[in-house]
Amino acid sequence: MKMRKRNIQKLYKLSPLLLAYVLFIAACQQEPISSTKTASVEKETLVVDVSNPISEIQPTMYGIFFEDINFAADGGLYAEMIKNRSFEFESPTMGWEQPNSDRHSMNENSGFATVMNTGATGGNQHFLHVKVKADNAYVLANEGFRGMGVKADAVYELTMLTRLQSGTPMKLKCQLVTEEGKVLGETAVEVGNKTWETKEVTINTTGTEPKAKFQIVFENQGEIDLDMVSLFPQDTWMGRKKGLRKDLVQLLADLDPGFLRFPGGCIVEGSELEKRYQWKKTVGSIMDREVLINRWNTEFDHRPTPDYFQSFGLGFFEYFQLSEDLGAEPLPILSCGMACQFNSAELVPMDQLEPYVQDALDLIEFANGPVNSQWGKLRAEMGHPEPFNMKYIGVGNEQWGPEYIKRYKVFDKAIKEKYPEMIIVSGSGPFPDGEHFDYAMGELKAMNVEIIDEHYYRNPEWFLENADRYDNYDRNGPKIFAGEYAAQSVAIASPENKNNWECALSEAAFMTGLERNAEVVHLTSYAPLMAHAEGWQWTPDLIWFNNLASYGTANYYVQKLYANNPGTHLVPLKSNGAALTGQKGLYASATIDVNANELILKVVNSSNNVKALDLELPDGTKIGNKVEMHVLANPDLDTVNSFETPEAISPEIKEVEINGKVTDLAIQPQSLSIIRIGLLTET
């Protein structure tokens, strides 16, 4: 089908029909959206039974999936600007430069920094010892995450641990500079204390620069120690110190997500068990959080990122806090003792599984337990005595085969015994079909598990063809969590994949099927969520950012339209007696919002024709004189949003006069329309 669509587009480009087509599209855009005065308009009647709700739409229906992939945490959401602030990367000075150190023969008398062992284990094993031989001769610089985004007239908060080793107090000039060395802002620090001391200062900036760096100019001779050199913008999400990047969280908040799944993704599993995500190492003092190589550091030869590590400054407490900020249910996914089966597939023996299970039980206590419990106490000490009210917990990410089922059963039993109210999410593996999927589904259904996580990374045709995936799914079986999905324009994990309109539209079509089956589909999330334009490993992604800017993709706006217009109850929608699952390029679902007393239609038109919709409602149903339409449309399926054109595909909101009856409501070609219709009678 993709080939066919592409050929059609090419044909239009080559033939005189192009002109007619362009004029036709232009006319559609200029005319009121309800106008359908063209020959190629096709009529369609939707019969919507607003008085017979099928089921509730779960408040969790549209959520988000966060994984630290593509620099999504360090270098992204977590607003720390210094890379390797604590000298704990595998190469402890990675990210740091000494441009004029005394290792260069021409600067023999400048100075040098040496990495020292603290002698401790855990989070803080190294610090930096700096020996300066001449005044103003030595500089230590940090490159940030592909540079640092600095804004003019902003305040940056610098903290660092310092200690004077010998000599007179050391004067430091701490600066933000451009690549060319122009100073954007600076502040002075004096190190005179012979025991470790935290310095807290601010830098006010005068210029904007996407690729700034931070540097310390050592103004006099002497020897000092440095550790935890940290720089954050003052203007973070909710103004929290050492917090999250405001523009990125705002994009998430605008989605109004029903849940936040974290921390992944494959990152949960680790390429080996040793490198799995261990939540206990991500809470408590930031100093004590043990830096770990990011599993995406080495995953793809096509996008090597040797400087990708996890500081865990964004750890489990912060994830819970973010969930709370967003009004989203926290949904942590934990290792089940199986490393990534695409990597080592390392297994913890069954008789050594207990610590993994204990981690799950302790996490529930951390999130929900009383402040006098061991883990609840830590939560309180971190500033949140109230419970986070976590309701869901996931066991394993993309595991498959009998080893998963064996381990899942142990977790299930232990969690349910202690916390019967906890809803456990199980997984069906990486693929939406095939031997592993069938096996997992069979076993999990036999166990009558509550929710199964399914992943679909497939081409756009698959999404169009699978809008009916759950139409015949057992209504009494486990509920579905469409936990990771994204249409792949080329192939899974291809670096050529694009967030184009073709992919986004196909996801929109598929989502009518998820919503139409809200009886069984309780949670859904696109994946991955975020990517740094220079630090990514995986594409497509919902949100792209660099060090200064960010934008939502076409796929983001699809998610946003669904998540902002969920409705409270699913109602039947039929055309010619059947659900709309792609007949003549149309896909649709219908919900009502009993609070707003509105009918909400979601209609995808993947054809090249305008559709003229008539709406039939039960006798006696009265509707208002206007409908509100949120339309995402573009005749060019290759269109993408970008930093230059961040809203090339973004919703247009229109009010359309209907005079109490929907007839000939125009649905544009290649579009997703959310149609909100006021109901004047109670449903």
Q: How far is the CB of 448 from ligand AHR (least distance, A)?
A: 25
* Tokens representing residue 574 in the block: 């039929």
User: Which three-class secondary structure state does DSSP give residue 669?
Assistant: coil
Q: How far is the CB of 108 from ligand AHR (least distance, A)?
A: 49
Q: How far is the CB of 7 from ligand AHR (least distance, A)?
A: 31
Quick one: CA dihedral 368, 369, 375, 377, positive or negative?
positive
Site for ligand AHR contains 481 (CB under 6 A): no
Site for ligand AHR, residues 265 to 284, rule: CB under 6 A = 265-266
Site for ligand AHR contains 575 (CB under 6 A): no
Site for ligand AHR contains 535 (CB under 6 A): no
Site for ligand AHR contains 63 (CB under 6 A): no
CB-CB neighbours of 410 under 10 Å: 17
Helix residue ranges, H only, 294-353: 316-326
Q: How far is the CB of 397 from ligand AHR (least distance, A)?
A: 5
One of 209, 299, 398, 507 is an active-site residue; which one?
398
Q: How far is the CB of 152 from ligand AHR (least distance, A)?
A: 36
* Tokens representing residue 495 in the block: 């670096």
Choose, by CB under 6 A, the member of 44, 74, 398, 515 that binds ligand AHR.
Answer: 398
Structure-derived torsion over alpha carbons of residues 413, 418, 422, 424, reported in degrees to the nearest 10 = -20
User: Which three-class secondary structure state does DSSP give residue 586?
Assistant: strand
Site for ligand AHR contains 527 (CB under 6 A): yes
Q: What is the rounded distance in angstroms from the CA atom of residue 113 to the CA atom of residue 116?
A: 9
Longest dimension (CA), the chain: 91
508 and 632 in contact (C-beta within 8 Å)? yes
User: Which three-class secondary structure state does DSSP give residue 19?
Assistant: helix
Site for ligand AHR contains 397 (CB under 6 A): yes
Question: Which strands sit side by side in the sheet containing 64-65, from one edge to the other?
Answer: 64-65, 259-262, 329-334, 392-395, 423-427, 451-458, 479-487, 521-526
Active site residue 398: yes
Site for ligand AHR contains 430 (CB under 6 A): yes
Site for ligand AHR contains 124 (CB under 6 A): no
Burial class (CB in 10 A: 0-12, 13-18, 19+), 183: middle
Q: What is the rounded distance in angstroms from the CA atom of residue 573 to the CA atom of residue 589?
A: 6
Choose, by CB under 6 A, the member of 309, 538, 545, 556 that binds ligand AHR.
Answer: 538
Choose, by CB under 6 A, the member of 263, 315, 528, 635 that binds ligand AHR.
Answer: 528
User: Which three-class secondary structure state does DSSP give residue 671?
Assistant: strand
For the chain, the C-alpha Rg in angstroms (whole number) is 28
Site for ligand AHR contains 452 (CB under 6 A): no
Q: How far is the CB of 621 from ligand AHR (least distance, A)?
A: 43
Q: Indicate the residue among 144 and 540 with the shorter CB distance to ligand AHR.
A: 540
Site for ligand AHR contains 429 (CB under 6 A): no
Site for ligand AHR contains 149 (CB under 6 A): no
Site for ligand AHR contains 264 (CB under 6 A): yes
Residue 48: CA atoms inside 13 Å, Cβ hemisphere, count? 30
Q: How many residues bind ligand AHR (CB under 6 A)?
A: 12
Q: How far is the CB of 484 from ligand AHR (least distance, A)?
A: 5
Structure-derived torsion over alpha carbons of residues 529, 535, 538, 543, reported in degrees to the nearest 10 = 30
Find the part of the chain contacting ligand AHR (CB under 6 A) among 37-45, 231-239, 262-270, 374-382. Answer: 262-270
Q: Indicate the residue among 60 and 70 with the shorter CB distance to ligand AHR.
A: 70
Q: Which amino acid type is present at position 114? A: T
Site for ligand AHR contains 484 (CB under 6 A): yes
Q: Indicate the residue among 394 and 528 with the shorter CB distance to ligand AHR.
A: 528
Site for ligand AHR contains 67 (CB under 6 A): yes
Q: Indicate the residue among 266 and 570 with the shorter CB distance to ligand AHR.
A: 266
Site for ligand AHR contains 567 (CB under 6 A): no
Closest CA to 326 of 62, 614, 5: 62
* Tokens representing residue 413 in the block: 């039993």
Q: Any idea which residues carry the catalytic annotation? A: 398
Residues that bind ligand AHR (CB under 6 A): 67, 69, 264-266, 397-398, 430, 484, 527-528, 538
